[in-house]
Amino acid sequence: MAIKMFDTKALDHILEKMIETVGNSKDEIFRIAEECRSDYESITNELREIKRKVAQIINEGDHLDSQVRTARKRLSEVSKHFKDYTELQVRESYEIAHKLQMELTLNRQTEKQLREKRDDLERRLLGLNETIERADHLVSQISVVMNYLMSDIRQMGEALETAKQKQDFGLKIIEAQEDERKRLSREIHDGPAQMMANVMMRSDLIEKIYKERSASEAISEIRNMKKMVRSALYEVRRIIYDLRPMALDDLGLVPTLKKYLQTIEEYHKTTRIQFINLGDDKRLSTKYEVALFRMIQESVQNALKHANAATIQVKLEIKRDNVMAVIKDDGQGFDLNDKKPESFGLLGIRERVELLEGELDIHSKIGAGTLVIIQVPLNL
């Protein structure tokens, strides 16, 4: 069947409209975030003033409470010995005590209102902060989409001459995604899933051995089953680390990277992976930690898959205003002048570096290994 050819100008027009729509959405989300920040600052100032008033009203209330107690004592004394006081003194004592009690009651009501307003402002601040974080996250994601649309696809659109070639490129992206899904599915099926199935079979076998043979043999089978469960747990953790280490959010970049590289070294027993941290072991914002982890992860995976390296060295240096990561291997290397299309992994690294306004340098020669240098400024 003949392949229908599309009008490339029409495709370019569609792309332009997509970029315009995504850009407008990004601007709208950014505007919402800025309005929320303005409200956040205004409410923060208002909350600060309310807290000051609460402290002031509490001090006034304590003072009034002391005056009320004194006035009541005076009124009790006058009432008890009213014959010793004039009618004017008795009336004044009563009026003073009543007046102070009314002021104290009003003070308590005002304090309650201020506290309720303070609590309401604090709740609003939490909501605004959550909205700001979500908006920033969306803007970051849209920026990735914008960068992809405005660079990679547009350049491909100018380079490809037919719609068939554009379709092939899109299919290549989908194929890469499907390959990754198949890889994960295969790893889970051949690893943890198979091991857990064996565990179920072993558990039935243990029960049978215990009944028909002896407890000691059953215990021996339990030990073997524990080893199998431990191996399954290791495989699950390795797969999770490949996807996204949970420790990245809890512990930060340096501890997570160290643990990840140790795990990868244990899995690839023929390759030695060395991690050296030269800078501060401090937390960075999520966008920096995730991006740096992914770039180092991809560089290491490239060395493992394509370079046949015996040793991989990863150096990380976090300074006050920038981060440098160096990934060096002693593998087979490649010719930088070879005009073969870059792998999706390398394209992903370049894209992340550009989004963070950093620099990427790659040095490699056939037979002399590869050196990847990533420098990212910290706009904290």
pLDDT digits (tens, 9 = 90+) for 269-293: 888 999 999 877 788 888 888 888 8
Task: Look up the pTM and report it.
Answer: 0.43
Give the largest Cα separation in the chain, rounded: 120
Q: How far apart are CA 207 and CA 205, in angstroms?
A: 5
Single-letter code of the amino acid located at 216: S
Mean pLDDT is lowest, of 181-190, 258-267, 370-379, for 181-190
Q: What is the arithmetic mean of pLDDT over 354-377? A: 89
Read off the pLDDT of residues 13-55 as tens digits, 9 standing for 90 and up: 676 777 777 777 777 877 887 888 888 888 889 889 989 998 9
Please state, rounded to an integer, the average pLDDT across all residues of the chain: 78
Read off the pLDDT of residues 60-103 as tens digits, 9 standing for 90 and up: 988 988 888 888 888 788 777 777 777 787 788 888 888 888 98
Q: How do the domains of the chain map onto residue ranges? A: 8-159, 162-243, 247-380
Q: How far apart are CA 79 and CA 66, in angstroms?
A: 20
User: What b/e sequence results for 239-270 when a residue is b if at least 16 CB atoms lie within 10 Å of its CB, and e otherwise?
Assistant: eebbeebebbeebbbbebbbbbbebbbeeeee
Q: How far apart are CA 290 and CA 154, in angstroms?
A: 27
CATH, domain range 8-159: 1.10.287.1490
* Burial classification of residue 214, based on how many CB atoms lie within 10 Å of its CB (0-12 exposed, 13-18 middle, 19 or more buried): exposed
- Residue spans of beta strands (DSSP E) within 76-190: none
Residue percentage of the chain with pLDDT more than 90: 11
Q: Is the pLDDT of residue 175 over 80?
A: no
Question: What does DSSP say about strands 322-329 and 272-277: parallel, antiparallel, or unpaired?
Answer: unpaired
Residues making up the chain, counted from first to last: 380
Q: Half-sphere exposure (CA, 13 Å, Cβ side) for 69? A: 5
pLDDT confidence of 172, banded at 50, 70, 90?
low
Report which of residues 157 and 24 the model is more confident about: 24
Read off the pLDDT of residues 212-245 as tens digits, 9 standing for 90 and up: 777 777 788 788 878 877 777 777 766 665 666 6
Q: Is the pLDDT of residue 146 over 80?
A: no
pLDDT at residue 169, as a whole number: 47
Q: What is the arithmetic mean of pLDDT over 360-375? A: 89
Number of H helices, E strands in the chain: 10, 5
Domain range 247-380, its CATH number among 3.30.360.10, 3.30.565.10, 3.40.50.10420, 3.50.50.60: 3.30.565.10
Q: Is the pLDDT of residue 2 over 60?
A: no
CA angle 321/316/287 to nearest 5° reads: 60
Sheet containing strand 322-329, strands side by side:
272-277, 311-318, 322-329, 370-377, 359-364
- Name the DSSP letter for residue 84: G
* 248 token code pair: 């990245």
pLDDT at residue 171, as a whole number: 59
